[in-house]
Amino acid sequence: MANEMSLVVRTADQTRRAELSLDPASTGADIIQAAVDNWALPGDTDYTLVNATTGRAVTPGESLSKAVRPGDVLEVQPVLVAG
């Protein structure tokens, strides 16, 4: 695909990291689901996606074209629930 974006996606603890070329139309939810599937992350945990380069959260429905720039680092973070 000619208009892919090159990004780094990693886990919050930085134990998993991948350099990817992604469709700019992909959403935050797409990236989170791919990380859960490919890295066998716990499925019973909620995750958020943060652009670590800018410190800004990427909402689940937001497209990459609006949330990131090529070369940015995206971090998949578990949502901690205090109880």
Range of the domain at 47: 5-78
**pLDDT by residue (tens digit) across 41-60?**
998 999 999 999 999 999 99
Is residue 23's pLDDT more than 60? Answer: yes
Number of domains into which the chain is organized = 1
Is residue 83's pLDDT more than 80? Answer: no
Q: Are 48 and 77 contacting, i.e. CB atoms less than 8 angstroms apart? A: yes
Q: What is the pLDDT of residue 3?
A: 86
pTM for the whole thing?
0.90
CATH number of 70's domain: 3.10.20.90
Rounded-to-integer distance, Cα 49 and Cα 66, Å: 14
Tell me whether residue 83 is in a domain: no
Residue 5: enclosing H or E segment and its boundaries?
A: strand 5-11
